[in-house]
């Protein structure tokens, strides 16, 4: 029996399962429906609110006092449910804790640190693309989008060599855990098996190499910026957030070029556009499709009263194609100025690693550009369904040489 209160009578209600397999496989096929429902809507299946327009999603991300993160950025409310792992000291916190840990991590992942790594990362991308070109037919996901970050990121942190494949299954399970306990969640949990234990082990000071971003976090602890336990959990953030995100960002970007050969030709003619490409690729196909916030007070958005303690699902991927914000939003266009896209989020939690991700994507593009005339799709891409990520498991392509 549904009792319509004055508030709920005004809320457009949606019955679509936004974590159902059809939706996860092709979110873009549903986005117009959720955006057009209204500035705020109610998702009946989960008893939560949602926003999918650029204006409301960015306003909610900016208002961190009302739309808080410390009750979790997934469906699970940490005020009433025990988190599946100790909460992240960055993602799942509010100020003041957040600002202290964020400042510490910003100092580790500094522009100076990145500048130092750039030549090595470029050389690694060049070497990898050279071996792929010799084969011509490759898998854009496993051979490039996965292989490249796995080559450069674990050594940057200082992770043990043995067991690095655990990073992939850990990240898959982590990103699924932001959604409901559906089949993709429980399947990836089972597949992750010992991955969580490996990650916990790899984050310990004794298991990290003497130099690297992991050691830098422990050095900050030694300097009094955080406790030893906090350092361990901050290193875990690198492992959680730094692998599957960049992998799928690069994978989705390669997919975009394979589907839009004229954009690849345009980039080859105007290589100065390289700096814009990754952001437009993230706008067009956002790796992180959604995150939640929880309301710390009753708040009215549009004419909808959202009660305190409500979970609100923010659709970054839908906001990034909102025609209220973007001209011709469905078009992948590397000349577009995509700034303002929400692929890295917005506000105080905006992606800490965004410069890392951009540098990885640019290294891959710089390696491909002079060597590859065309990126040709040679088979059907295979999707991996995930409650948070828009992810590919396979992208059969031919790299047609210069
Ligand atoms: C998503 O553990 C963490 O701190 C963490 C995990 C996942 C992310 C961010 C942080 C946004 C990429």
Quote the ligand 1 centre to 379 CA distance (angstroms): 32
Q: pLDDT value at position 193? A: 87
Q: pLDDT value at position 93? A: 98
Nearest-atom number in ligand 1 for the CA of 351 is 11
Quote the ligand 1 centre to 186 CA distance (angstroms): 20
Q: What is the CA radius of gyration of the chain?
A: 21
Q: Is the CB of 88 under 6 A from ligand 1?
A: yes
Q: Which of 237, 248, 389 most suits a substitution to test ligand 1, by most atoms within 8 Å of the C-beta?
A: 237
Nearest-atom number in ligand 1 for the CA of 239 is 2
The C-alpha angle with vertex 149 and arms to 372 and 61, in degrees rounded to 5, equals 105
Quote the ligand 1 centre to 344 CA distance (angstroms): 11
Quote the ligand 1 centre to 236 CA distance (angstroms): 9
Long-range contacts of 264-273 (CB under 8 A, 24+ apart): 264/374, 264/375, 266/334, 266/335, 267/334, 267/365, 267/369, 268/369, 268/373, 271/369, 273/334, 273/335
Q: C-alpha distances in angstroms, 337 versus 285, 327, 332? A: 15, 11, 11
Q: Is the CB of 288 under 6 A from ligand 1?
A: yes
Q: pLDDT value at position 147? A: 98
What are the structural domains, with CATH classification, of the chain?
13-401 (1.10.630.10)
Q: pLDDT value at position 292? A: 99
What's the DSSP call for residue 306? E
Q: Is the CB of 241 under 6 A from ligand 1?
A: yes
Q: Is the CB of 69 under 6 A from ligand 1?
A: no
Q: Is the CB of 240 under 6 A from ligand 1?
A: yes
Q: Is the CB of 235 under 6 A from ligand 1?
A: no
328, 65 contact by CB (below 8 A): no
Burial class (CB in 10 A: 0-12, 13-18, 19+), 378: middle
Alpha helix ranges (H) inside 38-177: 54-62, 97-108, 111-135, 147-157, 166-176
Nearest-atom number in ligand 1 for the CA of 291 is 11
What CA–CA distance (Å, rounded) separates 176 from 384?
11
Q: Which of 147, 345, 331 is nearest to 250 (CA)?
A: 147
Quote the ligand 1 centre to 92 CA distance (angstroms): 9
What CA–CA distance (Å, rounded) separates 316 from 250?
18
299, 306 contact by CB (below 8 A): yes
> Is the omega angle on the peptide bond into residue 335 within 30 degrees of 0, that is, cis?
no
Q: What is the mean pLDDT of each run of 10 residues along the chain (402 residues)?
A: 53 97 98 98 98 98 98 98 97 98 98 98 98 97 98 98 96 98 97 95 98 98 98 98 98 98 98 96 98 98 96 99 98 98 98 98 98 98 98 98 92
Looking at ligand 1, which residue's alpha carbon is closest to its atom 1? 241
What CA–CA distance (Å, rounded) separates 7 from 89?
35
Quote the ligand 1 centre to 357 CA distance (angstroms): 13
What CA–CA distance (Å, rounded) separates 127 from 277?
22
Nearest-atom number in ligand 1 for the CA of 92 is 4
- Chain centre distance of CA 108: 20
What CA–CA distance (Å, rounded) separates 245 from 145?
10
Q: How many CB atoms lie within 10 A of CB 142?
A: 15
Mapped onto helix, strand or coil, the DSSP state of residue 300 is strand
Q: What are phi and psi of 305, to 5 degrees?
A: -90, 115
Q: pLDDT value at position 8? A: 53
Q: pLDDT value at position 1? A: 42
Looking at ligand 1, which residue's alpha carbon is closest to its atom 9? 241
259, 330 contact by CB (below 8 A): no
Q: pLDDT value at position 4? A: 47
In terms of pTM, does the model score above 0.75?
Answer: yes
Sign of CA dihedral 60, 64, 68, 69: positive
Q: pLDDT value at position 2? A: 47
Strand 48-51 relative to strand 311-315, pairing: parallel
What CA–CA distance (Å, rounded) separates 106 from 212?
14
Q: pLDDT value at position 10? A: 84
């Amino acid at each position: 029996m549904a009792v319509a209160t004055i508030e709920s009578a005004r809320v457009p209600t949606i019955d679509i399962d936004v974590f159902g397999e059809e939706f996860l496989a092709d979110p873009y096929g549903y986005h117009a429906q959720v955006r057009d429902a209204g500035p705020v809507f109610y998702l009946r299946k989960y008893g939560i609110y949602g926003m999918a327009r650029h204006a409301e999603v960015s306003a909610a991300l900016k208002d961190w006092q009302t739309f808080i993160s410390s009750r979790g950025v997934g469906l699970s409310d940490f005020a009433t449910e025990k988190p599946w792992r100790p909460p992240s000291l960055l993602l799942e916190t509010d100020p003041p804790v957040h600002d202290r840990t964020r400042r510490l991590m910003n100092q580790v992942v500094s522009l100076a640190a990145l500048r130092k790594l750039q030549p090595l990362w470029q050389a690694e991308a060049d070497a990898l693309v050279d071996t792929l070109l010799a084969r011509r037919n490759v898998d854009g996901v496993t051979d490039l989008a996965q292989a490249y970050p796995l080559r450069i990121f674990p050594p940057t942190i200082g992770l043990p060599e043995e067991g690095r494949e655990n990073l992939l299954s850990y990240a898959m399970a982590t990103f699924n855990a932001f959604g409901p306990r559906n089949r993709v969640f429980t399947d990836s949990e089972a597949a992750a098996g010992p991955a969580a234990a490996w990650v916990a082990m790899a984050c310990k000071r004794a298991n990290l190499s003497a130099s690297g971003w992991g050691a830098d976090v422990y050095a900050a602890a030694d300097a009094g910026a955080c406790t030893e336990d906090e350092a361990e959990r901050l290193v875990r953030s690198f492992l959680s957030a730094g692998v599957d995100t960049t992998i799928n960002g690069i994978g989705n970007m390669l997919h975009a070029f394979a589907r839009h050969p004229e954009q690849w030709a345009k980039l080859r003619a105007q290589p100065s556009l390289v700096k814009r490409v990754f952001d437009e690729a993230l706008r067009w196909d956002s790796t992180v499709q959604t995150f939640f916030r929880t309301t710390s007070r009753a708040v009215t958005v549009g004419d909808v009263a959202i009660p305190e303690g409500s979970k609100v699902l923010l659709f970054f991927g839908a906001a990034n194609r909102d025609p209220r914000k973007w001209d011709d939003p469905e078009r992948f266009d590397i000349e577009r100025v995509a700034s303002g896209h929400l692929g890295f989020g917005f506000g105080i939690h905006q992606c800490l690693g965004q410069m890392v991700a951009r540098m990885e994507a640019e290294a891959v593009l710089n390696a491909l550009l002079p060597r590859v005339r065309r990126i040709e799709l040679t088979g059907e891409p295979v999707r991996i369904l995930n409650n948070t990520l828009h992810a590919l498991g396979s992208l059969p392509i031919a790299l047609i040489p210069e």
